[in-house]
Amino acid sequence: MATEFDVVIVGGALTGSVLALALSSFTQHKISIAIVEKSAPNYAQQGGFDARSIALAQGSLQKMRKITPLVGDDLGVEISKIATPIKQIQVADKGHFGKTTLKASEQNISQLGVVVELAKLGKKLTACIEQQPNIQLFCPNEVEVIKRSQQGCELMLKNDEQLSCSLLVAADGIQSNIAKQCGVEMVQVQDYEQSAIIANVELSEWHQNQAFEYFTEQGPFALLPLNGNMMSLVWCVKNADELMQLSDNEFLSRLQHQFGWKLGQFLRVSKRFVYPLISQKAESHIHHRLAIVGNAAQMLHPVAGQGFNLGLRDLHTLAERVAEAFNQGNDIGEFSLLAAFEQERKQDQERIINATSGLISIFSCEMLPVQVMRNLGLFAVSHSKTARDFVANRALGW
């Protein structure tokens, strides 16, 4: 006999966990949810100096504040307790005159966003989920067979357990196995011919809660504030092999040359991770009794840190629509509900995807007219509060 749930979410990382908590919160913790996750987390191994981080826009934190677990504060407050604020972002076209600075104080807010270690955030979300009796975790486990009928979905797990639900959610990341099993293909795949080197660095001077994003010939270069004198590095380059093979001291020397001495000396670098940069989008974000969210729905270039924040807006809207149907006693997997969700999110998705691709195209182009245009654009933003307000509102995810 299959164990019955209202919703089964496949993928228990950030996207799946936040969606489960949002669905639970918006239904007064009455909806029954299963999370199927193939990897058991090891936060002790993922944390410390080597911990990878993520930037959350202030708009994303505001949405998190609407999610209230059974125990503790709302999710926005809980995340703020373990996060580092971003109070200022410096943007520059490296080697050219164009630059501008976005300040939280100019927008009359305390911060533009926060940076949080993934291990700490994962631990916090797991603790919240464990306190919810209406959310059951199947981990480590995988979905082997999916059978969908007019009335619902039947899932066979790797350990032969069976689950049934009204709505299935694919939150299993890039190259989603669930989307593939349900016949949804990935389209608009673009290879940026860049790789992102991710690491943490320690500097001799405090960052003063500043973030830096430089556009270089190789690709974007970003430093985000962490605790103390630590910063999270995202260095996009065309050939990552050379930088990955350098010793720590050689890498720090290259980094110093790239960034300069604004925050003193680079003293230490963590383990380095490298990721090839591509963008892709699912041909549809819905199918029969299926919703696709997070990196399974769209994967963006990390420039300006928009990808995860866009995904959060998607799952927040999905949670609101599903909860509304659930609270009214309606079918939460009905196609018209899912179609309305997809339509509601289309404009924001297209805007962010086009803006991200556009930034990479404009700032990687070495044609003189394009160089002049982009630097005049940055110059205009730096000298116009109206332009800065417009850019800041986009960056804030409102």
> Listing from the earlier edge strand, what are the strands of the sheet with 3-4?
3-4, 162-165, 153-157, 143-148
**Count: domains in the chain:** 1
Instruction: Quote the Cα angle for 316-357-172, to 5°.
Output: 40
Who wins on pLDDT, 93 or 309? 309
Domain membership of residue 328 (yes or no) is yes
Range of the domain at 300: 3-86+115-188+278-358
Tally: H helices and E strands in the chain: 12, 22
Beta bridge partners of 101: 90
In a domain, 342, yes or no: yes
CATH of the domain at 79: 3.50.50.60
Question: Quick check: 85 pLDDT over 70?
Answer: yes
Q: What is the pLDDT of residue 383?
A: 74
Question: Does some domain include residue 132?
Answer: yes
Residue 147's pLDDT is 96
* Per-residue model confidence (pLDDT) at position 54: 92
**Alpha carbon distance 340, 317 (integer Å):** 10
CA distance 103 to 381: 12
Residue 307 lies in a domain: yes
Q: For the segment 59-80, what is each residue's pLDDT rounded down to a tens digit?
A: 999 999 999 998 888 999 999 9
Contact 51, 117 (CB under 8 A): yes
List the structure tokens of 224: 């985000």
Q: Report if residue 354 sits inside a domain.
A: yes
Residue 228 lies in a domain: no
Q: For residue 248, tell me if it sits in a domain.
A: no
Whether the pLDDT of residue 152 is over 70: the answer is yes
SS3 state of residue 138 = strand
Q: Taking the C-alpha atoms of 367, 372, 377 and 383 in order, what is their torsion angle to the nearest 10 degrees?
A: 160
The answer to whether residue 393 sits within a structural domain is: no
Q: What is the distance between the alpha carbons of residues 186 and 378, in angstroms, rounded to a whole number?
A: 34
